[in-house]
Amino acid sequence: MPYIRDVIKGPIGVFDSGYGGLTILKEIRKALPEYDFIYLGDNARTPYGTRSFEVVYEFTLQAVIRLFELGCPLVILACNTASAKALRSIQQNDLPYLDKSRRVLGVIRPTAESIGEATKTRHVGILATSGTIRSESYPMEIKKLFPDIKVTGVACPMWVPLVENKEFDSEGADFFVKKYIDELLNKDNEIDTIVLGCTHYPLLIDKIKKYTPESINIITQGEYVARSLKDYLNRHKEIASRCIKKGKCDFLTTESIEKFKESASIFLHEDVTVKSITLE
Ligand code: DGL
């Protein structure tokens, strides 16, 4: 069992397998500019989307423990794959032993909550990693809230590598973006709302729009997650009062500092200070 310091106050931890969670962090910082954050990207072991349940759970738990050790009272899994495959086990089995007073939240529930208003045809498409699609987390969460909605998912295993390798603007990306959108709309041609259920995908938004009929809504998660977190902190004063509010943001990566800096500036449009760490 790791030793987790009993800290009085700390930053909010934001975790992703790589750079994708930066699309969530950006919106969270806009909505909650007074809060401190630590972003942790497990860039050395990305992508998670094609890994087994056990491996994603193990890697995610290591990241959560590290963020707890760094004093975070609250950790956001800004990764759908980790939210789908590890969140429930961590909340139910690990938190009671690690520290009952801290919280870990994911991104699937806040996204699912936004869908009811978005769709008129009640046919919704999910584009996500293989792991998220296989977990069935989106259909399960959406059905709980809106039993009348038909949910169809397609895995897009090539999209995260395109983003991680900064190929999201290249001509090569067109082929794979079109391929998965066509696959989804061929499965259900009544879809009027598509959820980008992976935090990397907003980087492909221009190409996704190019190959999606204009009549279809495309939902990215950042704003919904940010709104939901703001609401959570308003309702849970005991957690909010343990978060440092100096507007500072630190970045950690399991890869090289230079690589992270370069890519983070594309996602965030700002220069960042980064430290490299190992997770085990
Ligand atoms: N960004 C992560 C998500 O939202 C997945 C990327 C990966 O496959 O590691 O699912």
Domains 12-106+223-276 and 109-220 share a fold: yes
Structure confidence at residue 164 as a pLDDT band (50, 70, 90)? confident
What's the gap in Å between 114 CA and the centre of ligand 1?
20
Burial (CB < 10 A; 0-12, 13-18, 19+), residue 246, is exposed
The mean-pLDDT minimum among 40-44, 128-132, 165-169, 250-254 falls in 165-169
pLDDT confidence of residue 5: 62
| CATH class as words, domain 12-106+223-276 | alpha beta
Annotated catalytic residue 79: yes
Mutation probe of ligand 1 site: the residue of 15, 39, 46 with most atoms within 8 A of C-beta: 46
How far does CA 218 lie from the centroid of its chain?
16
Is 0.85 surpassed by the pTM of this model?
yes
Strand 74-77 with 150-155, pairing:
unpaired
Reduce the DSSP state of residue 180 to 3 states and report it: helix
C-alpha distances (whole Å) from 111 to each of 56, 182, 198, 249 are: 21, 23, 11, 24
Q: Is 137 in the pocket of ligand 1 (CB under 6 A)?
A: no
Active-site residue among 72, 156, 198, 249? Answer: 198
CB-side neighbour CA atoms (13 Å) of 104: 30
Q: What is the CA radius of gyration of the chain?
A: 18
Q: Are 161 and 17 in contact (CB under 8 A)?
A: no
Q: Is 132 in the pocket of ligand 1 (CB under 6 A)?
A: yes
The per-residue pLDDT for range 203-233, each reduced to its tens digit, is: 999 999 999 999 999 999 999 999 999 999 9
What's the gap in Å between 47 CA and the centre of ligand 1?
6
pLDDT confidence of residue 4: 62
What's the gap in Å between 159 CA and the centre of ligand 1?
10
CA-nearest of 68, 63, 96 to 10 is 68
pLDDT over 70 (residue 187)? yes
pLDDT confidence of residue 263: 85
Annotated catalytic residue 72: no
| CATH class as words, domain 109-220 | alpha beta
Structure confidence at residue 2 as a pLDDT band (50, 70, 90)? low
pLDDT over 60 (residue 3)? no
Of all residues in the chain, what percent carry a pLDDT higher than 90? Answer: 90
pLDDT confidence of residue 165: 85
Q: Are 176 and 201 in contact (CB under 8 A)?
A: no
pLDDT confidence of residue 7: 63
Strand 249-253 with 217-219, pairing:
unpaired
C-alpha distances (whole Å) from 252 to each of 59, 216, 259, 279 are: 15, 37, 12, 11
User: So where are the chain's domains?
Assistant: 12-106+223-276, 109-220
Which residues is 104 bridged to in the sheet?
75
The Cα 274–Cα 260 span in angstroms is: 8
The per-residue pLDDT for range 48-71, each reduced to its tens digit, is: 999 999 999 999 999 999 999 999
What's the gap in Å between 16 CA and the centre of ligand 1?
7
Strands of the sheet containing 150-155, edge to edge, are 150-155, 123-128, 193-196, 217-219
Q: Is 48 in the pocket of ligand 1 (CB under 6 A)?
A: yes
The Cα 238–Cα 263 span in angstroms is: 35
The Cα 157–Cα 162 span in angstroms is: 10
